[in-house]
């Protein structure tokens, strides 16, 4: 009879210090696990299991949304929809890449670049069009993706000798592309609030998106709640799992808000992310 032996898991003092996580006392995998052991470990309770599944399952939700939108929008012949297509093509694999990262210990930065395509096409203020920021917005975002991925990888080197520097570098790699990509959105929302525009689905969706983005940053930096009760949240409920859930919810609201312009037959009449939609909302 075929039997599968699940990999052994370890306590924090049984793995090298570089693998220690704040407040996580158990559930560690062997640092030199084989690829098969990594896959098998996703089916047993370790401190990475929920991290893996909270991004693997949403991958298929975003794939489903992509297929639904593909059936109602003409991505091939309508250039106005191409930035949304690029956004979806990058958003769909990004949680899967993150799931693989937690399974095999690697990284990806697809999501930030996808946001830049969508915001550069649909959220850029009218009087910024053809300006320097508009022309170079996406190329700079692509450059940021490479730089911040490298910065995040480099941050692991000083982790033992200078842990605070390592943490600061990872935070910068996380926050900088987010702040850059959202420049048009920040301007749009501030303009909308100052001019008392109508509270439509796009505005609400992006506000929820930013709320969950702030929560992801807070959880990433604070390591709460496991720092308050070490060992209590080793398997379920620690900050990185909550970080994943907030990230997926934020992406969901971002996608739904971004789809508001295409909910009607003509983009120019839609009350969402498109420039005409923002203008119409501000005039109500």
pLDDT at 265 over 60: no
Contact 233, 23 (CB under 8 A): yes
Contact 277, 260 (CB under 8 A): yes
- 13 marked as part of a ligand binding site: no
Q: What are phi and psi of 180, to 5 degrees?
A: -65, -50
Q: Which pLDDT does position 263 carry in this prediction?
A: 39
Q: Which pLDDT does position 109 carry in this prediction?
A: 62
The residues, ordered by sequence, that sit 6+ positions from 81 with a Cβ below 8 Å of its Cβ are: 73, 74, 75, 262
State the chain's mean pLDDT as an integer. 86
Q: Which pLDDT does position 56 carry in this prediction?
A: 96
Averaged pLDDT for residues 79-107: 86
Q: How confident is the model at residue 201 (pLDDT cuts 50, 70, 90)?
A: confident
Task: Name the 3-class secondary structure at 161.
Answer: coil
pLDDT at 127 over 50: yes
Q: How confident is the model at residue 69 (pLDDT cuts 50, 70, 90)?
A: very high
Distance between CA atoms of residues 277 and 270, nearest Å: 5
Q: Which pLDDT does position 111 carry in this prediction?
A: 81
Q: How confident is the model at residue 275 (pLDDT cuts 50, 70, 90)?
A: very low
The tens digit of pLDDT for each residue in 11-28 reads: 999 999 888 999 999 999
The tens digit of pLDDT for each residue in 141-165 reads: 999 989 988 898 898 889 888 888 9
Q: How confident is the model at residue 65 (pLDDT cuts 50, 70, 90)?
A: very high
- 209 marked as part of a ligand binding site: no
The structure tokens listed for 259 are 């789809």
- 102 marked as part of a ligand binding site: yes
Q: Which pLDDT does position 261 carry in this prediction?
A: 56
C-alpha distances out from residue 241 to 9, 30, 165, 174, 229, Å = 19, 20, 23, 16, 16
pLDDT at 181 over 90: yes
Averaged pLDDT for residues 210-218: 95
pLDDT at 218 over 90: yes
Show the DSSP H helices in the chain as ranges.
Answer: 35-41, 49-72, 82-91, 93-104, 110-122, 132-154, 163-181, 183-194, 201-222, 239-259, 275-283
Give the residue with greater pLDDT, 226 vs 284.
226
Most confident of 45-54, 99-108, 142-151: 45-54
Q: How confident is the model at residue 104 (pLDDT cuts 50, 70, 90)?
A: confident
The tens digit of pLDDT for each residue in 238-253 reads: 999 999 999 999 999 9
pLDDT at 74 over 80: yes
Averaged pLDDT for residues 72-80: 90
pLDDT at 140 over 80: yes
């Amino acid at each position: 009879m075929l039997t599968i032996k699940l990999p052994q898991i370890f306590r924090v003092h049984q793995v090298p210090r570089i693998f220690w996580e704040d407040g996580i006392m158990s559930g560690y995998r062997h640092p030199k696990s084989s690829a098969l052991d990594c896959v098998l470990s996703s089916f047993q309770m370790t401190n990475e299991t929920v991290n893996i599944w909270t991004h693997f399952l949403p991958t298929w939700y975003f794939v489903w949304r992509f297929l639904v939108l593909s059936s109602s929008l003409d991505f091939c012949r309508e250039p106005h929809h191409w930035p949304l297509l690029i956004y979806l093509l990058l958003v769909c694999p990004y949680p899967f890449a993150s799931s693989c990262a937690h399974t095999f210990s690697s990284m990806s930065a697809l999501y930030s670049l996808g946001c830049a395509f969508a915001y550069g096409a649909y959220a850029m203020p009218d009087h910024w069009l053809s300006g320097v920021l508009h022309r170079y917005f996406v190329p700079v975002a692509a450059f940021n993706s490479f730089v911040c991925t490298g910065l995040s990888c480099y941050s692991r080197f000083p982790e033992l000798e200078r842990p605070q520097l390592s943490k600061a570098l990872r935070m910068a790699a996380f926050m900088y592309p987010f702040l850059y990509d959202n420049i048009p959105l920040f301007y749009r929302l501030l303009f909308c609030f100052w001019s008392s525009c109508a509270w439509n689905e796009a505005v609400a969706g992006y506000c929820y998106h930013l709320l969950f983005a702030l929560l992801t940053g807070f959880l990433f930096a604070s390591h709460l709640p496991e720092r308050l009760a070490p060992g209590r949240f080793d398997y379920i409920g620690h900050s990185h799992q909550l970080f994943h859930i907030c990230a997926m919810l934020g992406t969901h609201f971002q996608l739904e808000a971004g789809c508001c312009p295409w909910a009607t037959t003509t983009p120019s009449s839609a009350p969402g992310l498109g420039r005409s939609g923002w203008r119409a909302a501000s005039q109500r």
